[in-house]
Amino acid sequence: MKEIIKIERKRILNKKFLILFFVVLLLFSVNNSYYAVKNYDVLNNTGVVQTWKENLTHGKENTKVKFLKEDYLLSLKNKEESSSYVDETNLEDLVAMNYDGKKVQDLSDKEIKSFYSKRLSNIQEMLDDSSRINYTKSEKEKMMEQAGQLSSPIPMDYAEGWKVLNENMRKFMPLLLVLIALILLPLFGSEPQTKMKDLYRSTRYGKKKLDRARLITAFMVGIVLYLFGVMLYTIVMMTPFGWEGGSQPIQSNAATFFSVYNITYIQQIGINVLIGLLAMIFLIALTLLLTILTEGVMTGAVIIIFFWILLLLFDQIPLYPVNHLFANFMPLRMTDFLHYYTENDIYRIMGNSFTGLSWTALVSAVLSILLLILAVVFSDMKRMKKL
């Protein structure tokens, strides 16, 4: 079995493909990283006032042991020049989120003092006024309890690398998953020119054992490529920003300020990578099933590409019922990670409420298992009927 897996792995992962895979991912990551750092250039009418390097260095130096509390807010409020460095703009973004776009200079002393209670009342308001979900009393209480557990004051240490990585990973994941799926297509998709199928099917290990070895190879190769891709992207994205701040709470980022998950940036990345892995397993199971059914590399590729187009179309006009019942469990939206932390979607199953994150993970895992079972059943059926 080991030998067959090794040969199958070599068959689909030859040197040419590996180099191409690496180059595509590297180019994409470098491009993402370039645009991410360029966002930190401070501009005015005359051009770049501070380069991203100066901006980030200022941020690193001026955020050490800073906490989001009264004195920090007051220091910014009393500052005469306008804020331009990342440490100040971060704080301004958080104030704007909490106070409906208000500037820190416009905050009253009372508002500054009640910063964290205002955050809680905002979350309560979001739950009460949600047009999509009618939360029950106990659901609201549970979420508010979680939201209230955020240890305040929030440390405001420099963590731009993690923020950027978390925000940009959703752009990278679909590319990585599609590439892996395309690499795996030749496992069961036969090449008609070589006419090798008849030959290997008549060998001793060319039947059930070969099919099982191919299934194992698919998941092994998929997982290794996935982890490699994620590591490459993380390194390329983080290098210009630095690795500081991974233990900061995600609420120090304006995008996740109202999140009820009390986790750090590293934990957030961990969850994202795990969810991405589940999405990839689903896609591998789907790819295997499709190639077993169609037996053609190109036919499998057609269905995979059109499947992604469908998901992209659904993503163009996001409708709650479509997302809630379908798109949330599909790879594209599964890897659009931000919504797990901000949308507070819930699923009510047999009297229990599940968060969007946990239910998505569960459903995706179940769907992957079902697809895998179908793939095994169909490959056995086809082999037995000598199709």
Q: What residues line the site for another protein (CB under 8 A)?
A: 192-193, 294, 296-299, 301-303, 305-306, 309-310, 313-314, 316-317, 319, 321-322
For residue 17, the minimal CB distance to another protein (Å) is 11
Question: Cβ closer to another protein: 165 or 311?
Answer: 311
For residue 40, the minimal CB distance to another protein (Å) is 23
SS3 172: helix
For residue 7, the minimal CB distance to another protein (Å) is 22
Using CB atoms within 10 A of its CB, is residue 375 exposed (0-12), middle (13-18) or buried (19+)? buried
**Residues 6+ positions from 355 with CB-CB distance below 8 Å:** 340, 344, 345, 346
For residue 303, the minimal CB distance to another protein (Å) is 6
Question: Cβ closer to another protein: 50 or 291?
Answer: 291
SS3 66: coil
User: Is the CB of residue 259 less than 8 Å from the CB of residue 342?
Assistant: yes
Question: Cβ closer to another protein: 282 or 308?
Answer: 308
Question: Cβ closer to another protein: 216 or 303?
Answer: 303
Q: What is the largest CA-CA distance in the chain?
A: 83
At residue 256's C-alpha, the angle toward residues 254 and 260, to 5°, is 135
For residue 182, the minimal CB distance to another protein (Å) is 8
Q: Report which of 287, 269, 278 is spatially closest to residue 179, judged by C-alpha positions.
A: 287
Question: Cβ closer to another protein: 112 or 311?
Answer: 311
d(CA 323, CA 21) in angstroms, rounded, equals: 31
For residue 316, the minimal CB distance to another protein (Å) is 7
Long-range Cβ contacts of 262-270 (<8 Å, 24+ apart): 262/146, 262/149, 262/150, 262/151, 265/159, 265/162, 265/163, 265/166, 266/162, 268/162, 268/166, 268/337, 268/341, 269/162, 269/165, 269/166, 269/169, 269/234
Question: Cβ closer to another protein: 206 or 296?
Answer: 296
For residue 317, the minimal CB distance to another protein (Å) is 6
For residue 306, the minimal CB distance to another protein (Å) is 4
The number of beta carbons lying within 10 Å of the beta carbon of residue 279 is 26
For residue 172, the minimal CB distance to another protein (Å) is 15
Q: Which amino acid is at 261?
A: Y
Cα dihedral 275→276→277→278 (10° resolution): 50
Count of CA atoms in the C-beta half-sphere (13 A) of 187: 36
For residue 237, the minimal CB distance to another protein (Å) is 21
Question: Cβ closer to another protein: 305 or 370?
Answer: 305
d(CA 338, CA 27) in angstroms, rounded, equals: 24
Question: Cβ closer to another protein: 16 or 385?
Answer: 16
The number of beta carbons lying within 10 Å of the beta carbon of residue 99 is 18
Question: Cβ closer to another protein: 325 or 366?
Answer: 325
DSSP-assigned letter for residue 83: P
Question: Cβ closer to another protein: 46 or 316?
Answer: 316
